[in-house]
């Protein structure tokens, strides 16, 4: 083999090894509970200093991804529990991240932005059909639904499209399918394909989490009056909205 070809081969193998190590490091970091606690604790201090509402998202860039990619896969429904459901009001009001370990395993926040009555019903059906939500029986499963009067409306065209959050995320992730009539389902794929998709979503969400921390982008609106100015490149949001998706305002009041 010529010296030039040998050099090219060596450099290629080194680059491949570096890429492999970076992927392994990203995978470990994206699932590290110790790192998740550290990120949340550091962010909580900074958000409190700036008088901003704070929500623990662990290793993820968005609360709903924390729910779908971390909370649900690790939930133990055989013991029953209490589940709070609703829209953004519930997401921020029912924050259980500071509970001790054992109560935290039984008390869950299953809210998501822009939720209306139909989407909450479809989410409950998904939990029952695919996650074994009622495994402990109805007598050990308590549900508290937190509602705002606007949650009873069709929010698809309201609040800059916040009502599209639920279907947009589920269909965009590749891990779920959403149909307005059929609800939430799992697309057919092999366990290997699903594992790769989960990794891809975890890595992407972890990168967003790090970017949000580096720029101190809020996971909730500040409690001050200067949020009335809409995002520079986003739609015309009300002053109780934030941009949680490109071109979309998600209401967090």
- Convert the pLDDT of each residue in 49-106 to its tens digit: 888 878 888 888 888 898 999 889 888 999 999 999 988 888 888 888 778 888 888 9
Mean pLDDT of 244-252: 38
First-residue to last-residue Cα distance in the chain:
67
With 0-12 CB in 10 A as exposed, 13-18 as middle and 19+ as buried, what is 74? exposed
Give the torsion sign (CA, 246, 85, 223, 163).
positive
pLDDT at 231: 42
Residue 176 CA to residue 26 CA, distance in Å, equals 24
Percent of the chain with pLDDT over 70: 77
What is the chain's length?
253
For the full predicted model, state whether its pTM sits above 0.85.
no
Task: Please determine, for residue 137, whether its predicted confidence score (pLDDT) is greater than 60.
Answer: yes
> 227 pLDDT band (50/70/90 cuts)?
very low
Contact between 149 and 206 (Cβ < 8 Å) = no
Give the pLDDT confidence of 177-213 residue by residue, as tens digits. 999 889 999 999 999 999 999 989 999 889 888 887 6
């Amino acid at each position: 083999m010529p010296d030039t070809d040998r050099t090219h081969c060596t450099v290629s193998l080194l680059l491949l090894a570096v890429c492999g190590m970076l992927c392994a490091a990203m995978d470990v970091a994206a699932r590290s509970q110790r790192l998740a606690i550290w990120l949340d604790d550091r962010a909580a201090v900074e958000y409190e200093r700036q008088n901003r509402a704070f929500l623990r998202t662990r290793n993820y860039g968005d609360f709903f991804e924390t729910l779908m990619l971390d909370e649900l896969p690790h939930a133990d429904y055989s013991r029953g529990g209490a589940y709070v459901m609703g829209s953004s009001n519930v997401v921020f009001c029912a924050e259980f991240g500071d509970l001790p370990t054992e109560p935290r395993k039984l008390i869950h926040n299953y809210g998501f932005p822009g939720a209306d009555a139909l989407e909450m019903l479809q989410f409950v059906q998904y939990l029952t059909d695919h996650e074994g939500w009622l495994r402990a029986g109805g007598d050990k499963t308590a549900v508290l639904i937190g509602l705002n009067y606007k949650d009873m409306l069709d929010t698809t065209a309201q609040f800059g499209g916040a009502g599209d959050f639920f279907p947009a995320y589920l269909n965009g992730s590749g891990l779920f399918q959403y149909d307005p009539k059929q609800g939430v389902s799992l697309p057919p794929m092999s366990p290997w394909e699903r594992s790769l998709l989960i990794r891809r979503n975890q890595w992407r969400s972890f990168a967003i989490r790090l970017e949000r921390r580096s720029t101190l982008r809020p996971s909730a609106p500040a409690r001050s009056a200067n949020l009335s100015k809409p995002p520079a490149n986003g739609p015309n949001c009300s002053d109780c909205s934030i941009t949680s998706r490109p071109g979309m305002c998600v209401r967090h009041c």
